[in-house]
Amino acid sequence: MKERGLGKEICSFLEKKLVFFNQYLLMTNQIKEAYAVNKDQYPGALLSQRQACIYKIERIDESIKRMVGENPRRLDRLSEKCKTIIDGYLKRLKGIMETVDLVDQELVNALGADRKDMKAELLKLQDMRHAAQGYKGRREFVPRFLDTVR
């Protein structure tokens, strides 16, 4: 009977985890869209919301680990119906995680290309600054006369 309660609790945690992963996917897509529209604006608010989703997912994972405890064989005693439901949640989570991974890769590639362009532009500006400094005259120190009275 205790395993039935365990199965329900695990299912409820996985359902919450699925909701947070959907929010995470939504935030990732919004970051991608915001970056595509305006590359100069930093999406700090969206990143902080996405990080909050990660934190909540980690807390759910810790709760599940604590619930299962040191005896993972307790999961073997769950009913087949409960195992099927849990397996369905896990498959949906895996699908969402794969989608998020693809979107994250697109973002990383886009940001990597922009980073290379920005780095090349900064190096060009640095070279121009060094060239301009080369044309400047050297500072001469004010001569000191030894015969002056102070």
pLDDT, residue 3, reads 58
Terminal-to-terminal C-alpha distance of the chain: 101
Residue 134 has pLDDT above 90, yes or no: no
> Residue 149: inside a domain, yes or no?
no
Q: How many domains does the chain have?
A: 1
Residue 99 lies in a domain: yes
CATH of the domain at 16: 1.20.58
List, in order, residues 6 or more apart from 27 with CB less than 8 Å away: 46, 49, 50, 53
The full 3-state SS of 59-74, as one line of letters, equals HHHHHHHHHHCCCHHH
Quick one: average pLDDT of 52-66? 91
Q: Would 80 be classed as within a structural domain?
A: yes
- 141 found inside a domain: no
In whole angstroms, how far apart are CA 121 and each of 35, 86, 114, 118, 128? 20, 52, 10, 5, 11
Q: Taking the mean position of all CA atoms in its chain, how far away is CA 114? A: 18
pLDDT tier at 148, thresholds 50, 70, 90: low
Per-residue pLDDT for 1 more than 50? Answer: no
Residue 122 lies in a domain: yes
pLDDT at 69: 76
In a domain, 88, yes or no: yes
Q: What is the mean pLDDT of residues 114-127?
A: 85
Indicate whether 14 pLDDT > 80. Answer: yes
For residue 147, tell me if it sits in a domain.
no
Lowest-confidence pick of 20-34, 78-92, 106-120: 106-120
pTM, whole model, 2 decimals? 0.70
Which domain covers residue 67, as residue numbers?
2-135
In the chain, the percentage of residues whose pLDDT exceeds 70 is 87
More confident residue, 38 or 60: 60
> For residue 69, is it left (φ>0), alpha (ψ between -120 and 50) or beta?
left
Query: For residues 53 and 68, what is the distance between their CA atoms, to the nearest angstrom?
Result: 23
Mean pLDDT, all residues of the chain: 83
In a domain, 140, yes or no: no
pLDDT digit string, tens, across residues 69-107: 766 777 777 888 888 888 999 999 999 999 999 998 988
